[in-house]
Amino acid sequence: MLDMIEVNALNGLERLSEMTAAMEKMTLDLKKQLPKIYSKDLVEVLFLLPYTKRQYLIAEHLGNAKTVGNYLISLEEKGFLESVKVGKEKLYLNRRLLNILENKTK
């Protein structure tokens, strides 16, 4: 039982380390590729969940509906996010984070 707890704890630490590294890489890439929209708050929202939507960015006061919509389009065009339609909503997937959570590496 204790061995299982240790293995799970080590796996959790490894994933946390991978998430931190992915967040740092996205920060650097955003600063380089989209410096006009980069903000620490934006990166944090993108790593809060493996997906985001326009309303999340608005709720974090990152801009109005049009501004955050443009941010999301730019992020998708540069490959930071991938949009999917779910019902009437458009979700933007953070593949870097999703792959870590699914335990897939690129």
| Boundaries of every domain in the chain | 2-101
Residues 6+ apart with CB under 8 A from 28: none
pLDDT higher than threshold 60 for residue 9: yes
* CATH classification code of 2-101: 1.10.10
**Above pLDDT 90, what percent of the chain?**
84
How far apart (Å, rounded) are the C-alpha atoms in residues 13 and 96?
Answer: 17
Flag the least confident range among 20-34, 64-78, 91-105: 91-105
Mean pLDDT of the chain: 93
- Kindly tell me if the per-residue pLDDT of 1 is higher than 90: no
Q: Which phi and psi angles does 78 have, rounded to 5°?
A: -85, 0
pLDDT at 63: 95
pLDDT for 104? 63
Residue 26: the pLDDT is 97
Token pair for residue 48? 């809060």
- The model carries a pTM of 0.84
Map residue 82 onto helix, strand or coil: strand
pLDDT above 80 for 60: yes
Q: How many helices (H) and strands (E) does the chain have?
A: 5, 3
